[in-house]
């Protein structure tokens, strides 16, 4: 990531083996305990990442925990780095929501355009189902409505009729030459 020109923010492990190269002045009143430039001590770690990193120790006023962040960004203020990490959780929650509600388990394409198209299509369907639910004043959850529509997708019936009774019962059609597995 560093070689590609991108920057990262991650949590430091408790067993991080690194040496402090420089300490910047910090304002403890805002929660930043220390802001340091570091280098890895371990032979393999130093070989794999020979660049300097920035270690920021932050006291979270909400949880009372002390968090240690590592980043390769040396220009942003330490408080901004801590805020970026906190915002990262919102991204994680968004992807969890996408997986649960939009039912996207994997992406069909790998290009940026393919991923955006798939997400926007799923969001559009989700919003349309929410509108239908509101207009028809249905009590069923959006998930249930999506399940009903996926089952009745190719049936020729009005949408309000398909969604009117969320307790869909499948009809068992008996054919004359078919044996009955469950005789009465």
Span 85-99, pLDDT tens digits: 888 888 888 888 888
Cα gap 60→57, rounded to integer Å: 10
Span 103-121, pLDDT tens digits: 788 888 989 999 899 989 9
The mean pLDDT of the chain is: 82
**Would you place residue 2 in the very low, low, confident or very high pLDDT band (cuts 50, 70, 90)?**
low
Model confidence at 135: pLDDT above 80: yes
Cα gap 166→168, rounded to integer Å: 6
Per the CB < 8 A criterion, the answer to whether 79 and 32 are in contact is yes
Between the two ends of the chain, the Cα-to-Cα distance in Å is 66
**Would you place residue 171 in the very low, low, confident or very high pLDDT band (cuts 50, 70, 90)?**
very low
Most confident option among 26-30, 79-83, 104-108: 79-83
Higher pLDDT among residues 161 and 33, named by residue: 33
Instruction: Using DSSP, state whether 85 is helix, strand or coil.
Output: helix
């Amino acid at each position: 990531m560093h070689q590609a020109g991108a920057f990262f923010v991650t949590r430091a492990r408790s067993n991080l083996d690194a040496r402090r190269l420089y300490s910047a002045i910090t304002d403890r009143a805002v929660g930043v305990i220390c802001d340091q430039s570091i280098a890895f001590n371990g032979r393999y770690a130093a070989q794999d990442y020979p660049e300097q990193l920035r270690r920021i120790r932050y006291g979270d006023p909400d949880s009372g925990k002390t968090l240690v962040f590592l980043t390769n960004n040396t220009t942003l203020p330490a408080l901004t780095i801590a805020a970026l990490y906190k915002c990262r959780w919102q991204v994680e929650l968004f992807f969890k929501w996408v997986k649960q509600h939009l039912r996207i388990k994997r992406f069909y394409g790998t290009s940026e355009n393919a991923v955006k198209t798939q997400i926007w299509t799923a969001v559009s369907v989700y919003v349309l189902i929410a509108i239908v639910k509101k207009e028809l004043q249905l009590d069923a959850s959006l998930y249930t409505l999506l399940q009903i529509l996926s089952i009745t997708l190719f049936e020729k019936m009005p949408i309000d009729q398909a969604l009117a009774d969320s307790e869909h019962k499948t009809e068992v059609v008996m054919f004359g030459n078919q044996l009955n597995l469950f005789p009465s």
